[in-house]
Every structure is written in C-alpha cells, then in structure tokens.
Structure 1
Amino acid sequence: MQNGGSLETYAEYFKNSEILIGCDINEDCKKLKYNQNKIKVVVGDANSETAHNEISRIKNSFNFIIDDGSHVSVDIINSFIRYFPMVNPGGVYVIEDTCTIFSKNFGGGILNEFSAYNFFKKLIDITNFQWWSDSIKMDDYLSTFFLNGVPKFIAEGWIDSIEFRNSIIKIKKAKKPGHDKLGARTIKGTEAIVVDLPR
C-alpha cells in the first residue's frame, strides 16, 4: 500500500466496487485515512494467519485480487496459494511488478527453478492436464513446489488461464472446476469425403 494511493486509484476505477481491502506489513499504514467507507486497511504480513483471518472477516471472496506485495518469489507463490481460493469463479488474480522475479535479490533469477515465474510456467501445463494426465501424476509434476501434494484448488482444476505480460501475470479462475475445459466434441455434417473419421 505504501502511501495508499493505489487504493484511491482502484476506488476511482472500480466505481461499483462493494469493498476494497489493502494489506501492508508497514505499521505506519494504520495512519492512512480514506473518505470512502468501502476502503479498508489491514496491517500485517499478508501471508500470516492473523492478516489472512482479518481480511477474511471483512470479506471472504473477491472478484479481483492484486498482489503488489514484497515481490519475493516465495511470497508471491505463498500468497497465490493462500488467496487464489478466495477469488470468485470467473474472477481474476493479478501479480504486479513481476520483473523483480528475475532478480536474485528477490529470490528469483532467470535460471532459478524455484522462482515464481517457473511456478506459473508449470501451472500453464496444468491448464492442459487433460492431455497429459495419463503420462505423469500432477503431484509428481509439481513436486518442485509441493512435497506433500498439490493444493486442492489446483488439483480440482480451478485455474482457467494464465496470461504473461511485461511485469504482470494474470490468472483467471474457472467458472467451475475441472480439467476437461474444451467441453464435448462437435462434428458437423454426415459425410467424411476427405478423411474418414472415427464414429
């Protein structure tokens, strides 16, 4: 949150928002005051149970969650695991300033297999799990990041898509869980003139 300007910006941009919650570890954020009652401030480490519980007490589901926190890879991954389940079906989870993931100072690095970028790159394959599920178990594929099995929301197929842009990662939550995301196959026509297709 720093000086709190982002929450004011979001309040202006999301005019119809019901509530906006900002969380920052800096105790000085308690000094921030807003004219709109829908803006709430939680002071604490977003990845702590205390802060998570306080956020959940205010609101336990969101259409948008934006991670603009420490930018440290392990924090980015932990925040995603903790807060993505709170995104409403069809909602969006955004991670900002992902340029930091390339820096060793933020626990990343272009060759760091444990970086947040590598984590989300692996999740791209999870969006296509139906095509390789016979080859390897999901637990084994993601064992670099999860020694005791993948989180339930990943296993159930709640991740619909992942979009990478310069310094931003956007993860969309599916409207319903599952890995068969293409739906039923549709074939038009009654004749296979060029290639004989299986019935």
Structure 2
Amino acid sequence: MTIQRAHEEILKLILAAEGGAEQIEAAIREVGPERTAHILADELVNRADLHEIPGQDAAPVDIQLALAFDGATVGHVIRAGKSAEHEAGRAEEPHATIEADLAELLRAVLGPWRAPEAQVLRIVWHDLENTERLGGTMHVFPVVKRLVRGTTGRHEDLGELSLRQGSDKWGLHFYTPHYERHFGPLRDRPLKILELGIGGYGNPASGGGSLRMWKRFFPRAVIYGVDVFDKAPLREQRIHTIEGDLSDEGFLQSLGRDLGPFDIVIDDASHGNSDLIAAFKSLFPYVRPGGLFAAEDLQTSYWPGYGGSSRELSSPATSMGFLKTLLDGLNHEEREHPEGHEPSQTDLTLTGAHFYPSLAVFEKGVNAEGASASWIPRQKMSYEEMSAVDWGEGLTADHADEDGGQ
C-alpha cells in the first residue's frame, strides 16, 4: 500500500468520526473493517507508551481485540513484549480481551475529544483464576489500562511530549508554552501539518522527535516532515517523510502544490536566513485561512555564519529584518501609499504576528477590515483646533480623536 493511499484512508476515517453512525459505518465499509481495526490498534499502541511498563521483556502478553461490526467480529492482536506489535487475527491464549463496537471505537479514538468514549467496551481477564500464569504477567493490567487510555480523550502536555519523544522544542529551546497557546485551540481538528527539518543529519533512522510529538499532540492530524536527507525509516501511521532540498524554490513550491494546503507550517530546517525567507515566501500562500506559520531559531538572524547580522538589524536579507517588513503589512490599509500601489498577497492575508525569543508565529486569514474613516484627522490637532472644527451632528471631538487628545 502506498503512503498516499494510507493517508487517504486514515483521513477518511478521521473525517467520518465527526459524523453520525451512518457516515462512520459507510467509511468503515469503504476502508474495510480489518484495515480500520489495524489503524485503530496502531493509534492505541502509539498513545500507550507500553515501553515504560516493566516486565514485558521477560513475559510478553497478548491482548485480543474483538470488534463487532455488521453482525461479525473483527479480530486483531496486540502483543506487548520487547516492542509493541499488532496484527490481524486471533491469539491462541490471550491474556486479556478488549471487546468493543468497531464504529464506536473509531469515534472514540479518531473523533473530536468531546466525542463519547466507546460505549460498548468490555475487558475480559483470562488468567484471574490461573494464579501460576498470572503471577508472571501481572503487567497485563497496566498494559490494558494504557491501551484503553487512548479512547478517553486525554490531553497531553506539549512540553512533556517534547521530552518523551526526543524533540528539542522544550529543554534546548522553550517553544512549547508558546505553541500550546497558538496550537492548542486547533488540536481537536483534522489537520494537515508540515514541518521543515527532521533532525538526525545523515543517519536515516535518527531524528523525528518533533514529528512524533506533533502526532501525539494532534491526534487527528497527518504530519509531513521534510529533510535534505532520506528519513524514510521514520515513517509511521500519520507521519510521512519527504526528501528534498529546501533551498530549492521549485521544490518548496511543489510541497505546497502537491501536498497543501496546510493548517500549520513549522520551519525548523537549516536556520539559514535566506532559506527561511524563501520558505515563508513559498509556503505561506499554501497555509489555509485560520492556519499558522511558525519560524524557529531566529537567533541566527544575528549570526553572520548563517547569513545574519548584528549590525544591520533591519536588513531584509536577514530573517528578522525580512519578518519585520511583514508587520507594516498588517496595517496596509492605514498607510499612505504612492499612487498605483497594490497590496501584496501577504498584506491581504497576514492577520497576526507574535514574536518570542528565537520564535515567531504568523496567522493567516483575510486582512481587509477597512481603513479608518476619512473624516478622522491624519494629523494631531490641538484642543483649540479641534474645538473650531464643525464635526457634524452626532459627532464630537472626543469621537474624532480616539486618543482623547492625550
């Protein structure tokens, strides 16, 4: 199965999980009950952090999923040992069975956080009367508890996820509190997220901590990671890696054209000033209205080795100098422009800018509130001058001068 088809399937299930029973059941039939069970099992395993439970190396446990759909039962086995694995079928002697309705489990796992938890969920413990077998597999209880936890809509702290998944966004940097503020309201939605830069340099199996962090923080999102090195071994459900040169404008354009539009774009790539500027120019047009573009490691704007400068702070060739030029666009309707001037597409769509140490977050929308009324003076007036003006019926000097003359 291709990565694109796998993403299309899970997106279909994510969107269906917001709807009613008929929509959910139709999506399951289209994707297939067995494939749906596989997707849900993978999500539960990913959210469970089973590696943190001691005892599994010596005594693996099998958890049987028995999922009812269309009058039949779909079987899927989760095996918790040195690593957590899962596959279709039935275990010969499972240590526990989780019985659920497949459609309700889909809603609980991939639906909005406020969706009802799986209503038909029953746990059967098979070894309660077999004390000899149970004695060596007591860890089956926390294993099942953590698997079921994935259906409860538990919000996880982004800083904690950064540490657990190996991301440098908290610890080396302290971005996660700012990301919580801006990304938190979106985490319940079906999203498409693009992060530039995966980490780990030339080692194909190294890096990806931030991609895994975003996957956990956004349980209904598809995550795309881009790096100049091949990072295919880091691919997993809802995470797709792409190899490409981010200094190539044509490649940047292809990302937006072929994969966009995106809800969130995060630039954590080379940190070179020219690369960041090119990434913003190429990809901000492919951010959806209501979406966000985040630029990290802006400290390099002051480092000559990355194309920055600590002397020419407003140079548009540096990342901070370029980003500063965007701020005037927020108020493009109030500026005095030369005749024939047309606002840029960024002027018309940039609706917010937030700056933090080494980080900036930009909001995308429609920037067309309209200029201030023409009768509002464009020059500061004294009280005497204001008193001499005929403001017209219903208007006062206080209304005309919103600063109250201060």
Shared topology, TM-score over 0.5? Answer: yes
Aligned partner letter, 2:370:
D
Residues 94 and 171 in structure 1, CA contact (< 8 A), matched pair in contact too: yes
Q: Identify unmatched segments of 5+ residues in structure 2.
A: 1-197, 200-206, 374-392, 402-406
Q: 1:194 to 1:85 in 2, by over 3 A?
A: closer
Match of 2:299 in 1: 99
Aligned partner letter, 1:14:
F
Match of 1:72 in 2: 272
> Is 1:178 the counterpart of 2:378 in the alignment?
no
> Is 1:15 the counterpart of 2:207 in the alignment?
no
Match of 1:122 in 2: 325
Aligned partner letter, 1:97:
D
Residues 334 and 371 in structure 2, CA contact (< 8 A), matched pair in contact too: no
Match of 1:53 in 2: 254
Per-residue Cα deviation, 1:125-147 (whole angstroms, up to 9, x for no partner): 111111113358768xxxxxxxx
Per-residue Cα deviation, 1:139-174 (whole angstroms, up to 9, x for no partner): 8xxxxxxxxxx8x5225x111111111010111011
Cα offset for 1:193?
6.3
% identity of equivalent residues: 23
TM-score in terms of structure 1 length: 0.75
Aligned partner letter, 2:210:
S
Distance across 1 between alignment mates of 2:359 and 2:254: 27
Distance across 2 between alignment mates of 1:12 and 1:31: 19
Q: Which has the higher contact order (CA 8 A, sep 6+)?
A: 1
The one of 301, 308, 311 aligned to 1:111:
311
Structure showing greater Rg: 2
Residues 94 and 168 in structure 1, CA contact (< 8 A), matched pair in contact too: yes
> Is 1:165 the counterpart of 2:356 in the alignment?
yes
Distance across 1 between alignment mates of 2:399 and 2:220: 54
Distance across 2 between alignment mates of 1:194 and 1:60: 50
Match of 2:142 in 1: none
Distance across 2 between alignment mates of 1:121 and 1:86: 21
Match of 1:82 in 2: 282
Per-residue Cα deviation, 1:106-139 (whole angstroms, up to 9, x for no partner): 1011223121101111110111111113358768
Distance across 2 between alignment mates of 1:169 and 1:138: 28
Q: 1:136 to 1:164 in 2, by over 3 A?
A: farther
Distance across 2 between alignment mates of 1:76 and 1:117: 10
Aligned partner letter, 2:355:
F
Distance across 2 between alignment mates of 1:108 and 1:115: 5
Q: 1:137 to 1:47 in 2, by over 3 A?
A: farther
Aligned partner letter, 1:153:
Q
Q: How many residues align?
A: 175
Distance across 1 between alignment mates of 2:341 and 2:308: 24
Distance across 1 between alignment mates of 2:358 and 2:340: 31
TM-score in terms of structure 2 length: 0.39
Q: Which structure shows the bigger proportion of residues in helix conformation?
A: 2
Distance across 2 between alignment mates of 1:66 and 1:138: 31
Distance across 2 between alignment mates of 1:172 and 1:164: 12
- Match of 1:110, SS state, is coil
Match of 1:186 in 2: none
Match of 1:146 in 2: none
Distance across 2 between alignment mates of 1:119 and 1:108: 11
Aligned partner letter, 2:220:
N
Q: 1:120 to 1:6 in 2, by over 3 A?
A: same
Residues 42 and 55 in structure 1, CA contact (< 8 A), matched pair in contact too: no
Q: Identify unmatched segments of 5+ residues in structure 1.
A: 140-149, 184-189
Aligned partner letter, 1:53:
S
